[in-house]
């Protein structure tokens, strides 16, 4: 009588077969699933409320990219995971090889297009599983990716930590390049540093934060909020569309078609209108004494602890509304300019730009040449 072949799902000691060349080859032990797996398809990110029944929860998926698969069992907060066991298996033929096992959280290498199983051992009612394939790593760089939906990325320099869609990652000190590509959806990024002497550049699609030994780059992101030290230098760069910039002491904001970014902290902020559109810039004062200088090419407001400049904007307004004794100097062009106003403020029209002063205690306007006209009520 022939012996029946072993079950393809039996686990235990490896069996052996004799090849035609009399070579013994080990067979991988077969994986017995205690429940039917939930198919997650091609996985980049998933948040799953685990079944309420007792027992193990099983999931199968295909890795979206070659990188790091993170799986966390939580009570809903991915920053604090539970102690229960999580296992990752790689599917291979009719078998599965255990790749990783840990209490609460696993971070394991996966390969794009490869099939895997996730096992949550003895899942409890109310537990939430987070699974993410959003990180690729090299010796000196970590790259994070968004999904087709809305994603949230946060870099905290003091803690040496990146959080993406709620999942935290600790950055090794040797990582000199960190990047985030938001992809589709309305994505947001928060960049925080108190290191000092940072350089932060924000443009319509993202930002670059330079920290000496590390650079953090954000792309394809609709909302960026950067908080840096007072010794930092920041810049805001426009889009080809019609953009609006607001500069306040140690703060800047730029809004345009499809994006809204803010910058908080720098003692020096430069805003640029380089890429077209009818852009406007409004520069505000502090409670102290400020000095404003408006010219056809650039305008500056400076005060205690800050220096804000708007360059190449076709429409610039400086506003004094917070107190102090503020003074403004408006310099005309070499062409024919037109000056109008009253005691509350003035407006100078020069070729290619409109320069306005509102609420300043002292305003001085100077002609730069040409046949200028002034009408003051």
Question: Is residue 72 one of the residues assigned to a domain?
Answer: yes
Domains in the chain: how many in total? Answer: 2
Residue 58 confidence (pLDDT): 93
pTM: 0.88
Single residue among 133, 162, 190 that ends a domain in this structure: 133
Residue 207 confidence (pLDDT): 99
3-state SS string for the chain:
CCCCCCCCCCCCCCCEEECCCCCEEECCCCCCCCCCCEEEEEECEEEEECCCCCCCEEEEEEECCCEEEEEEEECCCCCCECCCEEEEEEEECCEEEEEEEEECEEEEEECCCCEEEEEECCCCCCCEEEEEEEEEECCCEEEEECCCCCCEEEEECCCCEEEECCEEEECCCCCCEEEEECCCCCCEEEEECCCCCCEEEEECCEEEEECCCCEEEEECCCEEEEECCCCCEEEEECCCCCCEEEEECCEEEEEECCEEEEEECCCEEEEECCCCCCCEEEEECCCCCCEEEECCCEEEEEECCEEEEEECCCEEEEECCCCCCCEEEEECCCCCCEEEEECCEEEEEECCEEEEEECCCEEEEECCCCCCEEEEC
Burial of 176 from C-beta contacts in 10 A (0-12 / 13-18 / 19+)? middle
Question: Is residue 140 one of the residues assigned to a domain?
Answer: no
Question: Is residue 25 one of the residues assigned to a domain?
Answer: no
Single residue among 109, 133, 157 that ends a domain in this structure: 133
Question: Is residue 174 one of the residues assigned to a domain?
Answer: no
Single residue among 133, 150, 167 that ends a domain in this structure: 133
Calculated CA dihedral for residues 254, 244, 314, 207, nearest 10 degrees:
20
Query: Alpha-carbon torsion 106, 109, 111, 112, what sign?
Result: positive
* CATH number of residue 77's parent domain: 2.60.120.1050
Residue 168 confidence (pLDDT): 98
Query: Which of helix, strand or coil describes residue 327?
Result: strand
Structure token pair of residue 195: 């290191």
Question: Is residue 375 one of the residues assigned to a domain?
Answer: yes
Domain ranges, residue 92: 39-133
Q: Which residues of the chain have pLDDT under 50?
A: 1-28
Residue 36 confidence (pLDDT): 82
Question: Is residue 284 one of the residues assigned to a domain?
Answer: yes
Question: Is residue 211 one of the residues assigned to a domain?
Answer: no
pLDDT tens digits, residue range 311-327?
A: 999 999 999 999 999 99
Question: Is residue 222 one of the residues assigned to a domain?
Answer: no
């Amino acid at each position: 009588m022939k012996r029946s072949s072993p079950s393809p799902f039996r686990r235990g000691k490896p069996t052996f077969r004799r090849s035609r060349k009399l070579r013994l080859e080990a067979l991988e032990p077969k994986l017995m699933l205690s429940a039917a797996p939930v198919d997650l398809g091609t996985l980049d990110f998933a948040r799953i409320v685990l079944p309420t029944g007792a027992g193990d929860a099983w999931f199968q998926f295909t890795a979206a990219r070659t990188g790091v698969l993170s799986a966390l069992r939580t009570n809903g907060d991915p920053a604090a995971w539970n102690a229960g066991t999580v296992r990752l298996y790689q599917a291979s033929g009719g078998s599965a090889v255990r790749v990783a096992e840990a209490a609460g959280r696993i971070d394991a290498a996966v390969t794009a297009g490869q099939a895997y199983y996730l096992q949550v051992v003895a899942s409890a009612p109310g537990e939430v599983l987070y699974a993410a394939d959003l990180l690729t790593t090299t010796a000196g760089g970590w790259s994070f990716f968004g999904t087709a939906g809305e994603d949230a990325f946060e870099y905290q320099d003091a803690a040496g930590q990146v959080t993406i869609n709620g999942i935290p990652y600790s950055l090794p000190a040797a990582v000199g390049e960190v990047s985030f590509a938001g992809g589709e959806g309305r994505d947001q990024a928060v960049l925080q540093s108190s290191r000092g002497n940072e350089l932060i550049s924000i443009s319509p699609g993202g930002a670059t934060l330079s920290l000496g030994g590390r650079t953090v780059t954000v792309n394809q992101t609709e909302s960026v909020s950067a908080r840096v030290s007072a010794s930092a230098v920041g810049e805001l760069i426009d889009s080809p569309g019609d953009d609006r910039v607001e500069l306040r002491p140690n703060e800047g904001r730029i809004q345009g078609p499809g994006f809204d970014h803010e910058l908080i902290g720098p003692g020096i902020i430069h805003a640029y209108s380089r890429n077209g559109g009818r852009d406007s810039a409004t520069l505000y004062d502090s409670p102290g004494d400020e000095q404003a200088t408006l010219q056809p090419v650039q305008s500056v407001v400076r005060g205690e602890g800050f220096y804000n400049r708007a360059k190449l904007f076709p429409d610039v307004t400086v506003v004094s509304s917070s107190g102090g004794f503020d003074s403004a100097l408006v310099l005309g062009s070499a062409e024919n300019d037109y000056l109008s106003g009253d005691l509350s403020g003035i407006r100078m029209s020069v070729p290619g730009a409109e320069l306005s002063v509102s609420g300043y205690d002292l305003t001085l306007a100077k002609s730069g040449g040409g046949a200028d006209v002034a009408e003051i009520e």
